[in-house]
């Protein structure tokens, strides 16, 4: 949603909020996730850096999911 991630080239009105996306990601805990990709953060469209902060948080959660599985913390 442009209100939550304005720094993207393809905003989608009524799209997911950052909170909703993080909730979905956290629901994937225990699955064998072997790769992830975060694309299209365009600072030129985001003067407040909201998109960059959200993207870094999503990336952190994705890495944590993969690291926890490797460490055996999948419960």
Count of structural domains within the chain: 1
**Residue span of the structural domain in which 37 resides:** 18-71
In a domain, 1, yes or no: no
In a domain, 55, yes or no: yes
In a domain, 7, yes or no: no
pLDDT tens per residue, range 25-71: 999 988 888 889 888 888 888 888 999 999 999 999 999 999 988 88
In a domain, 8, yes or no: no
User: Which one, of 38, 41, 59, 29, lies nearest residue 4 by Cα?
Assistant: 41
For the full predicted model, state whether its pTM sits above 0.85.
no
Q: Measured between alpha carbons, how far is 72 from 75 in angstroms, rounded to an integer?
A: 8
In a domain, 59, yes or no: yes
Which backbone phi and psi does 12 adopt, to 5 degrees? Answer: -130, 110
DSSP labels, 12-50:
-TT---HHHHHHHHHTTTTS-----------GGG-TT-H
Q: 3-state class of 66 per DSSP? A: helix
């Amino acid at each position: 949603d442009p209100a939550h991630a304005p720094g993207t080239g393809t905003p989608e009105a009524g799209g997911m909020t950052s909170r909703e996306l993080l909730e979905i990601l956290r629901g994937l805990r225990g699955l064998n996730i072997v790769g992830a990709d975060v694309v299209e953060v365009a600072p030129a469209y985001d003067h407040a850096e909201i998109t960059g902060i959200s993207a870094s948080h999503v990336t952190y959660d994705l890495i944590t999911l993969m690291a926890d599985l490797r460490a055996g913390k999948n419960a």
